């Protein structure tokens, strides 16, 4: 019984109106979490003992880096599902997620460079963490380029899915790079096995910002997904009805 | 087996194969991926001779001396020490008892002439009061415990 419901929303026709109803909800949540997160990050969180005010860039840097990895996993999952099951919607999902993922990876690299110059003394260093994140950015850009280079959407989906699935090996490398090799980038302040090495209010600000980034990413990806659905199914009956 | 199941198996197998390949490639390149070597590695002769390389460790407490534009300090991994000389501006987070990565050459007299000094930050973020409390509790040891990897 449960399965029937899932398959119902696996068709663009029935997911299109549902996505339309969900988008405003995610925008509102993004705004709320974003406002609360910025307020905590700028006015509540204390100055860092070592870095002064400059550390506040982590409130954008860390959520952006997390999202760049999470979105890649989601993108590869949907692309793989589309490849395996030939479902139209999954491949559209993957296509809709890619630009937001690329944006997050770029944000992570740029904010990291801004932090690195005053703190480390360099904009960029070829250590394992920075290099693997740059590769992630290239994977996103490559996925987008490959998909747009092939005219037939079904073939474009297949080629993109293979690229996305091969690139998935990079995500654990990014995450564990600071453990496996000696890098200039510090280890993670937050992980599952021990208490975070961060003051409570700083952590709160970062988690609120992370939630805001999640909500923004979902909202903007659904928006893009709706546009992709209309474009790809433009010859079908339901699109004509939906646009009336 | 339905074709659908075959494709799922193929995809999972493919991803696993790529993972194994990446594992072996990264293992083979292990020493090239590491950003720096430690003073112990250098004294054991694991650094490239006559070439520039990066060395990472902790700036030994009380070892920083400034003579004009030249800064001299000792880089340690708590087991072995190497003296470093550097001419130029140091990054904000360069502190005694904290991590640093230096790039340059090891001279015949055992001194490392750095062309670049980078500060390595640790994963701890705390307000000044908390830092103060920790330093009080640990005495002057606070610096020594941090930044060691």
Cross-chain CB nearest to B126 (options A48, A83, A168)? A48
Q: Structurally, how many domains does chain A consist of? A: 1
Is it the case that residue B35 has pLDDT exceeding 90? no
Whether residue A166 lies inside any domain: the answer is yes
Tens of pLDDT, residue by residue, chain A (244 residues): 455 566 677 788 888 989 999 999 999 999 999 999 999 999 888 888 778 788 889 999 999 999 999 999 999 999 999 999 888 899 999 999 999 999 999 999 999 999 998 888 889 999 899 999 999 999 999 999 999 999 999 999 999 999 999 999 999 999 999 888 888 888 877 766 666 778 888 889 999 999 999 999 999 999 999 999 999 988 888 888 887 7
Q: What is the ipTM of this complex?
A: 0.77
Class at the top of the CATH hierarchy for domain B36-145: mainly beta
CA-based R_g, chain B, Å? 22
Q: Give the helix ranges, DSSP H, for A120-199.
A: 128-149, 153-167, 170-180
Best to test chain A binding among B123, B135, B143 (most A CBs inside 10 Å)? B123
Could you tell me the sign of the dihedral formed by the alpha carbons of A181, A183, A188, A194, in that order?
A: positive
Confidence of residue B138 (pLDDT cuts 50, 70, 90): low
* Domain span holding position A32: 16-45+55-242
Query: Two tokens at A101?
Result: 């993922």
Chain A residue whose CA is closest to B9: A84
pTM of the model: 0.87
What residues in B contact A188, CB-CB < 8 Å?
A: 123
- CA B149, CA B134: separation in Å to the nearest integer? 20
DSSP code, position A42:
I
Sequence-distant (≥ 6) Cβ neighbours of residue B24 within 8 angstroms = none
- CA B23, CA A164: separation in Å to the nearest integer? 18
Residues 30-59 in A contacting B (C-alpha not used; CB under 8 Å):
46-51, 54-55, 58
Give the residue among B53, B18, B50 at the shortest CA–CA distance from B34.
B53
Chain B closest CA to A46's CA: distance in Å?
6
Contact criterion met (CB < 8 Å) for A173 and B22: yes
Beta bridge pairs of residue B65: B72
**Given its phi and psi angles, is residue B88 left (phi above 0), alpha (psi -120 to 50 degrees) or beta?**
left
Chain A residue whose CA is closest to B37: A182
Whether residue A8 lies inside any domain: the answer is no
Decide: A34 and A212 in contact? Cβ < 8 Å: yes
């Amino acid at each position: 019984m449960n399965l029937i419901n899932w398959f119902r929303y696996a068709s663009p026709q029935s997911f299109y109106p549902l996505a339309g109803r969900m988008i405003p909800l995610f925008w509102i949540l993004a705004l709320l979490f974003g406002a609360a997160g910025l307020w905590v990050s700028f006015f509540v969180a204390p100055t860092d003992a070592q870095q002064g005010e400059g550390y506040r860039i982590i409130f954008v840097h860390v959520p952006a880096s997390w999202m760049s990895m999470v979105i890649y996993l989601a993108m590869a999952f949907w692309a793989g599902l589309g490849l395996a099951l030939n479902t139209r919607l999954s491949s559209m999902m993957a296509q809709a997620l890619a630009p937001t993922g690329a944006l997050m990876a770029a944000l992570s690299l740029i904010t990291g460079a801004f932090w690195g110059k005053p703190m480390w003394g360099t904009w960029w260093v070829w250590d394992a963490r920075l290099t693997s994140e740059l590769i992630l950015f290239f994977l996103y850009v490559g996925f987008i380029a490959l998909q747009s280079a092939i005219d037939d959407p079904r073939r474009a989906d297949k080629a993109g899915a293979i690229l996305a699935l091969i690139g998935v090996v990079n995500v654990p490398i990014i995450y564990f790079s600071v453990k496996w090799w000696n890098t200039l980038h510090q280890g993670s302040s937050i992980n599952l096995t021990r208490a975070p090495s961060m003051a409570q209010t700083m952590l709160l600000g970062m988690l609120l910002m992370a939630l805001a980034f999640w909500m923004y990413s979902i909202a903007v990806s659904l928006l893009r997904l709706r546009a992709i659905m209309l474009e790809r199914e433009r010859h079908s009956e339901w699109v004509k009805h939906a646009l009336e | 087996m339905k074709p659908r199941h075959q494709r799922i198996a193929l995809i999972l197998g493919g991803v696993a194969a790529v993972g194994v390949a990446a594992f072996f490639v990264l293992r083979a390149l292990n020493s090239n991926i590491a950003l720096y070597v430690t003073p112990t590695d250098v004294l054991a002769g694991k650094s490239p001779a006559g070439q520039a390389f990066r060395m990472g460790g902790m700036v030994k407490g009380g070892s920083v001396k400034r003579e004009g534009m030249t800064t001299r300090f000792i880089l340690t991994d708590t087991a072995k020490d190497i003296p470093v000389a550097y001419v130029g501006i140091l990054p904000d987070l360069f502190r005694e008892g904290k991590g640093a990565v230096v790039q340059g050459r090891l001279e015949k007299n055992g001194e490392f002439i750095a062309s670049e000094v980078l500060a390595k930050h640790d994963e701890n973020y705390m307000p000044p009061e908390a830092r103060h409390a920790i330093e009080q509790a640990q005495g002057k040891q606070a610096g020594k415990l941090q930044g060691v990897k």
